[in-house]
Amino acid sequence: MEVIELDTDFGSSFSGILTDEQGRVQALWASFSTQLKYGCSSSEDHQFVRGIPIYAISQVLEKIISGTPGPFRLINGIRRPMPLVRLLEVELYPTLLSKARSYGLSDNWVQALAKKDPVRRQVLRVKGCLAGSKAEKLLEQGDMILAINKEPITCFLDIENACQKLDQSIDSDGVLNMTIFRQGKEIDLIVGTDVRDGNGSTRMVNWCGSIIQDPHSAVRALGFLPKEGHGVYVARWCHGSPVHRYGLYALQWIVEVNGQPTPDLESFIEVVKGLEDREFVRVKTVHLNGKPRVLTLKQDLHYWPTWELTFEPETDTWKRRTIKALQPTGA
């Protein structure tokens, strides 16, 4: 994220907004947190405040106000269409042009990028692509993004604007004509963009004491999804639950249950709702590091029933539904 720093340090005990002389909001003055490492094992939390440029919000807000078509959602009691957002699902970081020249970037491109942004004098490089994105198979780590549609690119806002122009064009096919620099060569690529609704996670399942969902964007940003149809992601586990007892922890995907593939949440629910109380279940998982594992656990539907939470955008509420529980017996 590109942020704003101030010459004067006001401390980190408050937040707010930054405005221009006319009172127009230019940025949110927001709190950040990171971990500073000391030595090999020790670290401590460090809090600081920076300005988040308001375009990150205004681009979406303008679409909401203008009534851009999209799925409806209840906002402050008013039912509004939520616009879809077009993204280049790639993580980028800036590199100084002086350093880019040492990697072989030509003087012509150095001059063109410096002319576009004489203050920062930088070029964007690819850190990684979000797993499952349309850019994943095309862009590689270390690629320098030189231009989109022959226009030099020097900052994140340039990428955002290029994506927004695709929605404004009637005959757009959702792709960017990119010029990149890779291993000493200039390459022209056609890279697809992705469209997201911004709702994030809207459904989760609690099974045997674990919180399971489809992989969200923060997980996909790690650049890895299992080859076995992606699977469902274990986001959290509860102490004392069957998954705790048998060692099915978070940060991994469940790709099979009793030999049946679980490529998505719907498939997973179909499999687990047929499992009975006290039944032993064989689970195949893939960890974030890509290592597969098979383990067995025993269900306990009395204390740990299977249920799901689903978010309903039109009513702005979460609803719980029991999928499988131990039926009470009569006296």
Tell me: the pLDDT tens digits for 1-12? 888 988 887 777
* 203-324 CATH: 2.30.42.10
Average pLDDT over residues 285-302: 93
Given a cut of 90, is residue 204 above it in pLDDT?
yes
Amino acid 330: pLDDT = 53
Amino acid 191: pLDDT = 96
Weakest mean pLDDT among 232-241, 277-286, 319-328: 319-328
Query: Could you tell me the pLDDT band of residue 229, with boundaries at 50, 70 and 90?
Result: low
Q: For the chain, what are the domain ranges?
A: 1-7+16-66, 85-196, 203-324
Average pLDDT over residues 112-128: 95
Amino acid 331: pLDDT = 47
Q: What are phi and psi of 235, to 5 degrees?
A: -90, -25
Q: What are phi and psi of 109, to 5 degrees?
A: -75, -35
Query: Could you tell me the pLDDT band of residue 314, with boundaries at 50, 70 and 90?
Result: confident
Query: Could you tell me the pLDDT band of residue 310, with boundaries at 50, 70 and 90?
Result: very high
Q: Is 276 exposed, middle or buried (0-12, 13-18, 19+ CB in 10 A)?
A: exposed
When the pLDDT of each residue in the chain is averaged and rounded to a whole number, the result is: 90
CA pair distance 131, 224, nearest whole angstrom: 5
Q: Hey, do 85-196 and 203-324 end up sharing a CATH topology, with the first three levels equal?
A: yes
DSSP calls for 211-274: EEES--HHHHTTT---TTT--EEEEEE-TTSHHHHHT--SSEEEEEETTEE--SHHHHHHHHTT
Summarize pLDDT for 40-62 with one digit per residue, the tens: 777 788 888 999 999 888 888 88
Amino acid 329: pLDDT = 61
Given a cut of 90, is residue 277 above it in pLDDT?
yes
CA pair distance 110, 122, nearest whole angstrom: 9
Determine the topology of domain 85-196 in CATH: Pdz3 Domain (2.30.42)
Amino acid 262: pLDDT = 94
Tokens 């499952």 label which residue? 132
Summarize pLDDT for 141-198 with one digit per residue, the tens: 999 999 999 999 999 999 999 998 998 877 778 999 999 999 999 999 999 999 988 7
Rounded to two decimals, the pTM is 0.82
Amino acid 95: pLDDT = 96
Tokens of 72: 């409806």
Query: Could you tell me the pLDDT band of residue 248, with boundaries at 50, 70 and 90?
Result: very high
Q: Is 94 exposed, middle or buried (0-12, 13-18, 19+ CB in 10 A)?
A: middle
Amino acid 228: pLDDT = 67
Amino acid 71: pLDDT = 83
Summarize pLDDT for 59-112 with one digit per residue, the tens: 888 888 888 888 888 878 888 888 888 999 999 999 999 999 999 999 999 999
Amino acid 56: pLDDT = 83
Q: What are phi and psi of 180, to 5 degrees?
A: -125, 165
Amino acid 276: pLDDT = 94
